[in-house]
Amino acid sequence: MLICHPPAIAASEITPEAVYLARRRVLFGAAATAVAAWLPKPSWAAALPGLLPGDRLNTWREITTYNNFYEFSPDKEAVATLAGELPLHPWTVKISGEVEHEFEIGVDDLIRRFAQQERIFRLRCVEGWSMVVPWLGASLAPLLALARPTSRARYVRFVALLDRKHMIGQRRDSLPWPYTEALTIAEAMHPYTTLVTGLYGKPLPPQNGAPVRLVVPWKYGFKSIKSIVAIDLVETRPATTWNLVAPDDYGFFANVDPSRALARGSHSRETRIGESRKRRTEPFNGYGDAVTGLYQGMDEADRL
């Protein structure tokens, strides 16, 4: 299924990141050319402007045991266990709304059609913590293009699964369900906007939003909606979950902005999970070079 990632080393008895890091050493070492044909493209990761040399990848354990996923629980450490029961097959994503061609695609089909690439991005939660995550996914843009958006399509709305049986957090009104997020169509078409199906070269664990989630690395983490079942192209700006709950703290755009203090406090620094000293938070989470063009000509106050 994960055609880009045949194991270079037997996975038994080694942690996933050990396998993965070993593979990277091969990739960037002298043997790179010989094996490059069947390994994930190194050029892609190397070309990422925001990934600073020396940024340690967070471990599999860190990424999969400290999760925000309110459908299960507001307790980050409880999510992994609770999400384990979520049925992932079959799973389809329906693309509809202001499009010429509505369709529904199964996740297995989506993985086959759109080559899954390794994409290492920082994730910055509005709560003040961050991680560096080696996702596996593909840009959302070609999937949207398949649906042929009409000229009226100005926003893209994403809807997560509603399943009170398995998502026990939905039995409480902690948030309006289903969890919903949205982007402008220009943001949705940006190549960094990624539909993710894997992590560390493996299928995405349920607690990280299996089987398919969004990752928008220059925005606060809550925009990166998990367990998506529907993508709607719409004319007017849709309501989004956190913006509904606390509009002063969670703007529609939610671009990472260290200069803006929110009700929960300053956003100028962050704690990388696994580190003790704080780091400076970068505008657009360090991806400004790639994305500021999206906001050219917009007033600062309009893109919060």
Ligand X SMILES: Nc1nc2c(c(=O)[nH]1)N[C@H]1C(S)=C(S)[C@@H](COP(=O)(O)O)O[C@H]1N2
Contact residues for ligand X, defined by CB under 6 A: 67-71, 123, 125, 160, 179, 208-209, 221-222, 224-227
- The H or E element containing residue 291 is helix 288-291
Residue 224 contact, options ligand X, Mo ion, none, Cβ 5-8 Å cut-off depending on partner type: ligand X
Least Cβ distance, residue 282 to Mo ion (angstroms): 17
Q: Which residue is nearest to ligand X (CB)?
A: 221
Residue 227 contact, options ligand X, Mo ion, none, Cβ 5-8 Å cut-off depending on partner type: ligand X
Number of residues that bind Mo ion (CB under 5 A): 4
Least Cβ distance, residue 208 to ligand X (angstroms): 4
Residue 69 contact, options ligand X, Mo ion, none, Cβ 5-8 Å cut-off depending on partner type: ligand X
Least Cβ distance, residue 205 to Mo ion (angstroms): 17
Cβ closest to Mo ion, residue 69 vs residue 192: 69
From residue 20, alpha-carbon distances to 69, 85, 187 in Å are 26, 26, 30
Give yes or no for a contact between 161 and 71, defined as CB atoms under 8 angstroms apart.
yes
Cβ closest to ligand X, residue 6 vs residue 87: 87
- The H or E element containing residue 199 is strand 194-199
Cβ closest to ligand X, residue 70 vs residue 253: 70
Q: According to the binding rule CB under 5 A, does residue 68 interact with Mo ion?
A: yes
Tell me the helix, strand and coil percentages in the chain, rounded to 5. 30, 25, 50
Cβ closest to Mo ion, residue 107 vs residue 125: 125
Q: According to the binding rule CB under 5 A, does residue 222 interact with Mo ion?
A: yes
Least Cβ distance, residue 25 to ligand X (angstroms): 26
The label of the residue with tokens 């367990």 reads 227
Least Cβ distance, residue 179 to Mo ion (angstroms): 12
Give yes or no for a contact between 97 and 153, defined as CB atoms under 8 angstroms apart.
yes
- The H or E element containing residue 183 is strand 180-184
Q: Where are the alpha helices (DSSP H) in 101-224?
A: 107-113, 141-147, 185-189
| Contact pick of 8, 125, 156, 216 for Mo ion (by CB under 5 A) | 125
Least Cβ distance, residue 182 to ligand X (angstroms): 13
Give yes or no for a contact between 185 and 154, defined as CB atoms under 8 angstroms apart.
yes
Least Cβ distance, residue 109 to Mo ion (angstroms): 30
Least Cβ distance, residue 19 to ligand X (angstroms): 20
Interacting residues of 277 by C-beta distance below 8 A, sequence separation 6+: none
Count of C-beta atoms within a 10 Å radius of residue 246: 13
Residue 70 contact, options Mo ion, ligand X, none, Cβ 5-8 Å cut-off depending on partner type: ligand X
Cβ closest to ligand X, residue 39 vs residue 167: 167
How does 74-95 read in b/e, with b if 16+ C-beta sit within 10 Å?
eebeebbebbeebeeeebbbeb
Interacting residues of 129 by C-beta distance below 8 A, sequence separation 6+: 66, 270, 271, 272, 273
Cβ closest to Mo ion, residue 137 vs residue 221: 221
Cβ closest to Mo ion, residue 72 vs residue 222: 222
- The H or E element containing residue 42 is helix 42-47
Instruction: List contacts with Mo ion (CB under 5 A).
Output: 68, 125, 221-222
